[in-house]
Every structure is written in structure tokens, then in C-alpha cells.
Amino acid sequence: MTDEPRDGSGEAGPDPDPDPPGAARPADGPPGGDDSGTPHDGSHHDRGRHDRGRHGGTRHDDAPGAAASRLTGRAAVAERRLSAALAEVTLDGGQVVMVKRGDAPGAVRAEADGLAWLAEARAVRVPAVRGHDAHRLVIDRVAEGRPDARAALRFGRDLAALHAAGAPAFGAPPPGGPEEAYIGRAPMRNVPGDDWPSWYAAHRVLPYLRRAVDEGVLRPAEAAEIEGVLERLPDLAGPAEPPARLHGDLWNGNVLWGADGRVWLIDPAAHGGHRETDLAMLRLFGCPHLDRVLAGYQEAAPLADGWRDRIGLHQLFPLLVHAVLFGRGYAEQALAAARGAPA
């Protein structure tokens, strides 16, 4: 969840069919900003560059072009700032990359590791990380396309494959990734748990529910209603499923419709979770051709009966995150989602 212009591209592993390689586009984010976040990109990034960026000399105040040159080892010949935290940089030879600043401790590392983990699934395409350090992330730029039904159907199948790649546990971070991560500019702890209902309640919903009450966004009596739903979550969650490999922040702003006719994902908050969570998040702020996305997903990996009734449960976390960041309107939506839970 970010209001940064979006951009990224690159390869996410070999393509199993003859469609051309893809790209993605810059775009605006949803309600809520990530002015100090990091650009997301996830392909098999160069381990040498990764280590050099993480451990090498870090300069927080250098210009985007200088940062791109330092982190990629190639001269920058032009730069264009898109926001306070995001810039487009042309490197020597013509390659265009995006450079994003991330000021929150560990944000760049969490994002880079998340992108790499998504790329390892060789499913949904993600842009390639070209380098990063403590405060800057460099990814390939993505060419813009238009949403269409064929790409949406394929995206659904690819998303199912990403989820099927799995995770060690609910709440597990990407390998080597930090426990303290982010969803947009909100903190998100990746603490492994054994079963989804108890983990989701303890490590996703309750921390933001309590904060919403503390900040006066949600009334105690309203919070009690949501807590009552959480107590019933083991009975409401549907059949037990293994941990899925989630994008973790799959709202429409992080879905890029590439010029190649493929869908690319950026800005992950990657972790192990329930696959219905990504789909519920995709529905929360709307997505072009969502019916085709869901049709493709169902073809590849049918969802358990009653999944539509559980959408509101999976939306509680992002709605409460938004309530804390942006106010009462989202708290009312979270309350409505809880009240809509099956009796």
C-alpha cells in the first residue's frame, strides 16, 4: 500500500510458454503513502551485488543517479524524479532503472529479500533487483501496457502457482529476511506460527486493532466485536491449508499490466500465509478483470468451499492497517467486515 509511482521489470525465471518476456509500469498507489519506502522488484538478483550493497559503504543522501551508479557499477547518464522517494535513471548503454529511497530501518532489505523469494517460484513475474543498500533499492523499469482479459486469466493461474510454491510456516519471512518488515509504510512482524487462525489473529489483526483503539480511531465496544470474530476464527477459517507463498500487499496498485501482455507484481510484503488473503486483498480496492483472474486461479487451484464468505475475515488486517494510518473510515469498513462474518 503506497502512493508512490510504481515501476519495475526484469525476468522472473524461464517462461514455460512462447509469450514474450514482460514488463510493468509506473503508477499511483492507493489511499496511504509510502514516502520513505523502497521500490520492489524480485527476480533472482545478483548475490554479489546484493552483498556489496548491503555491506558496502552506504550513502543515504546521494542523488538517485549516483546511487544507481554506485549500486550497479554502471554510469548514470540521466535521471528523472517521479516523487521525493522514487526516480527513473538511465544507465550507460540505455538500460532504465527505478531508484527508490527507503528510510525505515530494514525496509529495503525486507523488500529485496521478498522480491527474490517471489522470483524463485518462477510463477508471477516480478522486476529484477539490480542492487540495494540500507536506504536505496534499484530495480528494472517496466514498460506500461493495458489490462486485458487474457492477461488476467493467466495472472490467476500464475498467482496460484506462486501460492503453491509454499512457505515454511504461517508468518515465515523470506529466507534470510528480517522479522521486522513492512506493509506499505506500516510495520509488519514476520513471526512464524503453527496454524493460520491463531497466527493471523495474534500477529496480523490484534496489533492493529489495539493500536486503533489507543489512537481513538476505533471505540472499545467496536473492537470487542472484532475480537469476538477472532475468537471464532478456528470455526470460520474453512479447511486447514498449508502455508502459501504470499505477495502480502496485493492491492491493485501493486499489479502491473505489462506491455508484453503479462502481469507483473511489485511492492511485496512477502511472507507465509493463507492464499485467500492475497485474493481478498486484490478484491479490496478493485482490480481490472478480477472475474477472469479468479477464473484462472480456480482452474489451476480451486479454492475451498465458502471462500467468498471468508473474504471479509482476510480483509480485516489491511483495513485495520489503513484505519491506523488514514482514519475512521477504514475502521468502519473493518467493523463492517467483522459484522459480515458467518454467524
Catalytic residue among 3, 41, 158, 249: 249
Please calculate the CA angle 314-110-130 and round it to the nearest 5 degrees.
Answer: 125
3-state helix, strand, coil in the chain (%, to 5): 40, 15, 45
**Cell match 521525493: residue?**
84
Structure-block grid coordinates of residue 297: 486461479
CB atoms within 10 A of CB 209: 26
- Residue 61 is among the residues annotated as catalytic for this protein: no
Structure-block grid coordinates of residue 56: 558496502
3-state secondary structure (DSSP) of residue 24: coil
**Contact 236/200 with Cβ under 8 angstroms?**
no
Contacting residues for 100 by C-beta, under 8 A, at least 6 apart: 4, 37, 38, 39, 85, 86, 87, 136, 137, 139
**Contact 285/48 with Cβ under 8 angstroms?**
no
Q: What are phi and psi of 291, to 5 degrees?
A: -60, -35
Active site residues: 249
